[in-house]
Amino acid sequence: MSTGCWQNDDFLSRNTKEEKKMQLATAAQPKPEKSKEKAPKESRSFMLNLFRGVVEPSQVFPYPDVLTPEQTDTLNMLIDPVSKFFEVS
């Protein structure tokens, strides 16, 4: 019966060696550290830049001129009458 015990101990020691090999083989390997200093990615999106806390002055100043010359003249003609209307007497 002592032989059976010896074989059992031999089996256990072999099993633990194999388990250790498996644990080493399947253990999580440390990930290589990435550089935390990434170059900021430039974007032409106004809203994306606002969310990132970056303001591109070329997108804001001067405000895009979207009116035709005729629309600008019409708007300028309305400024005086509207200003007089809203004056507090």
Residue-wise pLDDT tens for the chain (89 aa)? 455 555 555 555 666 777 777 766 665 677 777 777 777 678 888 899 889 888 888 888 777 678 899 999 999 999 999 999 988 75
Residue 72, in any domain of the structure = yes
Please give the tally of structural domains in the chain.
1
Residue 23, in any domain of the structure = no
**What's the sign of the alpha-carbon dihedral 55, 58, 61, 66?**
negative
The pLDDT value given to residue 76: 92
What distance in Å separates the CA atoms of residue 18 and residue 12, rounded to the nearest whole number? 10
Residue 89, in any domain of the structure = yes
Q: 76 lies in which domain range?
A: 65-89
